[in-house]
Structure 1
Amino acid sequence: MSEELELTIREAIPSDAAELLKTTRKIGQETEFLVMDEKGINLPEELLAIQLEDIYESSNNTLFVALLGDKIVGTASLKGSNEKRISHIVELGISILKDYWGMGLGSILMEELLLWAEENPEIYRIKLTVQEQNTAAIRLYEKFGFKKEAVMERGARGNDGRFLNVLLMSKMIHEVEG
């Protein structure tokens, strides 16, 4: 029997800062798949709230939160640069609390990010890095049209200090002439 969850996906706002800090700390403790460690987002709540406001107002940055009630159970982001020559490129990141892995939340968050990017005339390339050992994430990215571009040997370290290979993947959006 499958339990149906009442899930809300929306852009993060400054008042999410405290819950976002709590959630990212937990996610950072649960997996070594992310760059983020057990500290999560290592910022004071007030500074994170200011950054969330900046992200919300930005034309090439977004941060979505997945909520069950008031609890953030996952995040999804696209992060762009202010530098004119690379402002068309955004880096994708998705993180989900371990209790919610395997429920399709990654696909839901990916759909939201891609919709946001495709509606944004400034974005032409989405890139991401993923540890080679994170096969579930790689399958998700490939399902949504991301292609492997390179392997970065020793691109990350595991919790036990061993070196891990990291894949660079990307997806192009919007047609370009010439």
Structure 2
Amino acid sequence: MSEELQVTLREAIPDDAAALIEVMKQLAEETDFLIMDQPALEMTLEMMALNLAALYESPNNCLFIAFVNGKIVGLASIKASDDYRVAHIGEVGISLLKDYWGFGLGSLLMEELILWAEEGQLLRRLELTVQVRNQRAIHLYEKMGFEKEATIARGARSEDGAFLDVYLMRLFIN
């Protein structure tokens, strides 16, 4: 694969539902760093399309898709509550197909999320959890300004049942 990729980023829309389901299944197979449960992987096309429509209309939730040659290769999301007291807190998630690691797409997606949060003026805190062993992701998050707030012992579980520590990281949005 060449070092230069032509990448297109945009918010997900209901028409992306089928392709998104396929990419989510591939992502779940490629890495054990993700926290993706079975119901998310078994979502019907109709359910996914409805979820995407709701995300697109939400002032504090979003899902961005990265395309290379018309193919979805990465996802970046912010999930937040509608409850007033915590509606300013967005949980960040980023996933890239393994073939596209190391090309700067994670940085590009994170920059887009942060810009979206800043422009929306509703979110004031972005947070995420990341497995302590996922040094590549931790480096990205720190580069983008996230700081470690806590270590959560046994915050995740591996496929073989072993407990894993995770960091809680945050970024304040001004």
TM-score of the alignment, normalized to the shorter chain, above 0.5: yes
Is the 1:25–1:40 Cα contact (8 Å) retained in structure 2?
A: no
Q: What residue number does 1:127 align with? A: 127
DSSP 3-state at the match of 2:48: helix
Q: What residue number does 2:21 align with? A: 21
Residues 1-178 of structure 1 mapped to structure 2, 5 A cutoff: 2-36=2-36, 41-174=41-174
Measure how far apart 1:5 and its partner are: 1.8
Q: Which consecutive aligned stretches of 4+ in structure 1 deviate over 3 angstroms post-superposition? A: 37-41
How big is each residue's C-alpha offset from its partner over 1:52-96, in whole Å with a ceiling of 9 and x where there is no partner?
Answer: 000000000010000113311000001111001000000000000
Q: 1:108 and 1:37 mapped to 2: Cα distance?
A: 26
Q: How many aligned residue pairs are there?
A: 174
Normalising by structure 2, we get a TM-score of 0.95
User: Which structure has more helix as a fraction of its residues?
Assistant: 2
Unaligned runs of 5+ residues in structure 1 are none
Q: 2:10 and 2:139 mapped to 1: Cα distance?
A: 24
Unaligned runs of 5+ residues in structure 2 are none
Measure how far apart 1:111 and its partner are: 0.7
Identify if the C-alpha distance between structure 1 residues 2 and 43 changes in structure 2 by more than 3 Å, giving closer, same or farther. Answer: closer
RMSD: 1.5
Normalising by structure 1, we get a TM-score of 0.93
Measure how far apart 1:40 and its partner are: 5.6
Amino acid at match of 2:79: K
